[in-house]
């Protein structure tokens, strides 16, 4: 697709760097912005620019925050003795949306992945251990993705947490999704869900 | 979806104003931009900002252009005696992609639509008539959408162009799409394509 203007082309190329946005969508966005009022575009640009200038990460849990300590960490309503370890900020939001968890979080910023060149020192694992040492929680929940990389990270963190006697290390339940038919579940999930079966009377709804 | 930061929320709201972008995609874009280098984000913002500051419209055909007269209008390779009237810039690009048209364009900037409050004076119809008067082309091709609004605009422009004797006013061919089965074509298209049938030997491939 040849564009009649270099400036339009550069804007399209910029918008096409967004994840999952192709040239055609990027062109649609660019033409929309071109037609918008100058004030609207200025607001659009300043809102995005502030992501780099004004947005901080919580010093305690590494989640995004407008303040040095995020609202979750500083809330007196949250249980201070449970830390849930997640991969990224989206996972914090997903767990918050369930309204089932009232403890604190710790955002790793990724999972161990030698293929992508992500090692232990690229993640917030050191600060997690330091935090456990200082805050002395009673439980750390590992809520990482159920992938090879997530499991590797789980194993590593669990091993490191063994140095704290009395600390419970748990992981979120894996198994058949609520509403799923066994027939259509993948073999690995189904196999593990029978191997890791739990007493019926302990189920919480 | 509750976001942990007002600044992130504002960026998400800004990105969600793009056409066809929902909150979830906007969040994905915002987090991507948040993780990008400062330089990358600065380039992104400046490329979009230039859409409002540096992008011009061709004084002759109203297509976007970096120069007062666009590359198509100023090209000596284009036939100067044919003007193709289109609704918007995307249509110019679509026709250019076919590589079948070597004349000039005239971008109306919309079609007559009383429901949307778009009247004759909101479109570049006056400048089209002025252009035909000055440039004296031999043919004007009406390539507007095959909608009620497009047809209304076609009729209006055609009527106005009757004041120029010797000017041919044509419209792009409408009918069954290449590769389509008659069985699945809509009734209106099929009905009109039989009413407007053309001599077999005149078909150009």
pLDDT digits (tens, 9 = 90+) for A94-110: 888 888 899 999 999 99
| Chain B residue closest in CA terms to A63 | B4
How large is the average pLDDT for residues A36-62? 91
Q: Are the beta carbons of A104 and A125 closer than 8 angstroms?
A: no
Flag if B92 and A30 touch (Cβ within 8 Å).
Answer: no
Look at residue A205 in the predicted model and tell me its pLDDT. Answer: 66
Q: Identify the band that residue A164 occupies on the pLDDT scale cut at 50, 70 and 90.
A: very high
How large is the average pLDDT for residues B63-75? 90
C-alpha distances out from residue B181 to B25, B177, B187, Å: 37, 9, 12
Q: Which candidate from B10, B32, B51 shows the least CB-CB separation from A30?
A: B51
Q: Which candidate from A8, A66, A93 shows the least CB-CB separation from B55?
A: A8
Q: Is A74 on the interface with B (CB under 8 A)?
A: no
Comparing C-alpha atoms, which of A92, A108, A112, A118 is closest to residue A153? A112
A3 vs B contacts (CB less than 8 Å): 93
CA distance B40 to B167: 52
Flag if A4 and B97 touch (Cβ within 8 Å).
Answer: no
How large is the average pLDDT for residues A30-56? 90
Question: Which of A14, A59, A90 would you mutate first to test chain B, the one with the most B CBs within 10 A?
Answer: A14
The reported pTM is 0.75
Flag if B21 and A29 touch (Cβ within 8 Å).
Answer: yes
Neighbours of B55 (CB within 10 A): 17
B15 vs A contacts (CB less than 8 Å): 44, 48
The tokens describing A167, both together, are 């600390």
Neighbours of B104 (CB within 10 A): 23
């Amino acid at each position: 697709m040849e564009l009649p203007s270099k400036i339009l082309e550069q804007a399209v190329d910029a918008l096409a760097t967004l994840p999952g946005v192709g040239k055609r969508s990027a062109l649609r966005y660019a033409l929309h912005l071109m037609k918008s009022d100058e004030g609207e575009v200025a607001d659009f640009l300043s809102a995005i620019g502030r992501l780099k200038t004004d947005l901080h990460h919580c010093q305690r849990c590494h989640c995004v925050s407008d303040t040095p300590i995020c609202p979750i960490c500083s809330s007196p309503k949250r249980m201070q003795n449970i830390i849930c370890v997640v991969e990224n900020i989206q996972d914090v939001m997903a767990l918050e949306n369930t309204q089932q968890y009232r403890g604190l979080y710790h955002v790793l910023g990724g999972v161990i992945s030698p293929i992508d060149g992500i090692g232990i020192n690229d993640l917030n694992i050191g600060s997690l251990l330091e935090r456990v040492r200082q805050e002395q929680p009673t439980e750390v929940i590992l809520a990482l993705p159920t992938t090879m990389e997530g499991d590797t990270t789980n194993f590593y963190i669990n091993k490191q947490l063994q140095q704290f006697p009395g600390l419970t290390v748990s992981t979120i339940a894996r198994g058949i999704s609520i509403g799923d038919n066994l027939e259509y579940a993948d073999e690995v999930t189904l196999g593990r869900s029978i191997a890791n079966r739990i007493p019926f009377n302990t189920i919480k709804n």
